[in-house]
Amino acid sequence: MTKQKLTILLASPRGFCAGVDRAIHIVEEALRRYGRPVYVRHEIVHNRFVVEDLKAKGAIFVDELDDVPDGVPVIFSAHGVPQSVPAEAERRNLFYLDATCPLVTKVHYEAQQHWRDGRQIIMIGHAGHPEVVGTMGQVPEGTMILVETLEDVAKLEPADPEKLSFITQTTLSVDDTAAIVEALRARFPAMVGPRKEDICYATTNRQQAVKAIAGRCDALMVVGAPNSSNSKRLVEVAARSGCERSMLVQRASDLDWSTLADISVLGVTAGASAPDILIEEVLDAARTHFDVTIEEVTVTDETISFKLPAALTA
């Protein structure tokens, strides 16, 4: 039987960013140097496939330092941690490696500087996300206010409107964040912002790539995890940019391809913590059901890389 033709628009950039790549390499190099087990506080990145692969290699993932025994290395996840976490590790004389993405660390430094300058800090982000928890933990409790929506902006009552600053989570929707910043600036003209936007290059690039293909797609798949902020934002961006039939997919095996029998153009991208193997799984599965033609749509080339901690390179 002749297969139905399907054009796949493959967004680029997609998948792993430099911060995710660095974090995974930190765990792998620690295992190579120090042997099994190496403990990791929280998921190193938000992807179940990556976590299970590292578990198989000897990594043990825990929720808190209380679950880490003495005398073994521990790694902090790419999302960053409150200052209390390394302080506790030092109190216990634990050997730790910090896999926080350098672009998240940049936001941490901004928060600390704003606090030292006597400014109340507004953080734009999602409550409970590990990155937000880590960033809010860089300054004393009560000196940072979390804002998630325009409604939150309208209800803000800062201690001193003339001594305000803002920072953002690195994995937000670029457009949503711009609207919130605009509303904040309208209410608080004296507010100080970051010198360079906090939303990271990888988040911005992947959203731009989705915008470039969404209007041409009958459906669009984002390969990523349900707890991945940047992956969920890609689904939202696709829906707003011309492809309402956008979906988050963890693995090709999760898909019911019969629900896509009516489409002729499929967009495919992946969140910044999704490995290439999961994208290839989706493309291979598509080929079993359709006569596939792949068109890669590139909006920019990424050349950024981050160094491993000095303890792993000496």
Set 28, 29, 88, 131: catalytic member:
131
Q: Is it true that the peptide bond before 37 is cis, omega within 30 degrees of 0?
A: yes
CA–CA gap between residue 278 and residue 250 (Å, rounded): 8
CA–CA gap between residue 123 and residue 276 (Å, rounded): 32
CA–CA gap between residue 122 and residue 302 (Å, rounded): 30
In sequence order, the 6+-apart residues with CB closer than 8 A to the CB of 159 are: 120
Whole-number percent of the chain with pLDDT over 90: 98
CA–CA gap between residue 264 and residue 282 (Å, rounded): 16
Task: State the amino acid at position 26 in one-letter form.
Answer: I
Question: pLDDT digit string (tens) for 71-105?
Answer: 999 999 999 999 999 999 999 999 999 999 999 99
Catalytic annotation present for 110: no
Q: What is the pLDDT of residue 1?
A: 72
77, 41 Cβ separation under 8 angstroms: yes
Q: What is the pLDDT of residue 226?
A: 96
Going by C-alpha positions, the residue among 247, 119, 129 that lies closest to residue 194 is 119
Task: Go through the domains of the chain in sequence order and give each one's CATH number.
Answer: 4-16+201-298 (3.40.1010.20), 18-98 (3.40.50.11270), 102-198 (3.40.1010.20)
Q: What is the pLDDT of residue 314?
A: 86
252, 222 Cβ separation under 8 angstroms: no
Going by C-alpha positions, the residue among 199, 219, 206, 175 that lies closest to residue 297 is 206
Q: What is the pLDDT of residue 195?
A: 87
Q: What is the 3-state secondary structure (H, E, C) of the chain?
A: CCCEEEEEEEEECCCCCHHHHHHHHHHHHHHHHHCCCEEEECCCCCCHHHHHHHHHHCEEEECCHHHCCCCCCEEECCCCCCCHHHHHHHHCCCCEEECCCHHHHHHHHHHHHHHHCCCEEEEECCCCCHHHHHHHCCCCCCCEEEECCHHHHHHCCCCCCCCEEEEECCCCCHHHHHHHHHHHHHHCCCCECCCCCCCCHHHHHHHHHHHHHHCCCCEEEEECCCCCHHHHHHHHHHHHCCCCCEEEECCHHHCCHHHHCCCCEEEEEECCCCCHHHHHHHHHHHHHHEEEEEEEEECCCCCCCCCCCHHHCC
Question: pLDDT digit string (tens) for 169-191?
Answer: 999 999 999 999 999 999 999 99
| Ramachandran class of 58: left when φ > 0, alpha when ψ lies in -120 to 50, beta otherwise | left
Backbone phi and psi for residue 264, each to the nearest 5 degrees, phi listed first:
-125, -20
Distance, C-alpha 173 to centroid of its chain: 11
Question: How confident is the chain (314 residues) per 10-residue block, as mean pLDDT?
Answer: 94 98 98 98 97 98 97 97 98 98 98 98 98 98 97 96 98 97 98 94 98 98 97 98 97 94 97 98 97 98 97 93
Strand partners of residue 266: 8, 219
What's the pTM value of the predicted model, to 2 decimals? 0.96
Task: State the amino acid at position 157 in one-letter form.
Answer: E
Q: What is the pLDDT of residue 236?
A: 98
